[in-house]
Amino acid sequence: MRTFEGEQVLMRIFVRQRDRWGHRPLYLALIELFRREGVAGATVLQGVAGFGADSVLHTMRLFRLGELPLIIEVVDSEDHINKVRAQIDSMMSSGLITMQNVRVIRYNKTRA
């Protein structure tokens, strides 16, 4: 397992639950891509409400299954993230990607 500190990149990918890559949920396909490519870490967060470019509000109260927003957060070096960007772009038909510089304070494997 790699360990690193200092300046890294946080990439956020905004998608919907219903977005697909082939026959699979897009968020799962992306997480598997990141794992396969050795990205330092990724997390999927589920939103309780949101809207996108179409300004349609999606909330848990409306019970529109599959419409809730998901955010996939990835932290790694800029070089490593750039190596997977083309694959990410080919998998997404809609959504939003943001990237920002972050300072990693600690990244260690937890010992049992």
Q: CA-CA distance, 86 to 18, in Å (whole number)?
A: 22
The domain spans of the chain are 6-104
Q: 6-47, pLDDT tens digit by residue?
A: 899 999 999 988 899 999 999 999 999 999 999 988 999 987
Could you count the other beta carbons within 10 Å of the beta carbon of residue 48? 10
Q: Are 103 and 7 in contact (CB under 8 A)?
A: yes
- What pLDDT, on a 0 to 100 scale, did the predictor assign at position 2? 59
- CATH fold for the domain made of 6-104: Alpha-Beta Plaits (3.30.70)
How much is the pTM? 0.81
Q: Examine the pLDDT at 107 and tell me if it is beyond 60.
A: no
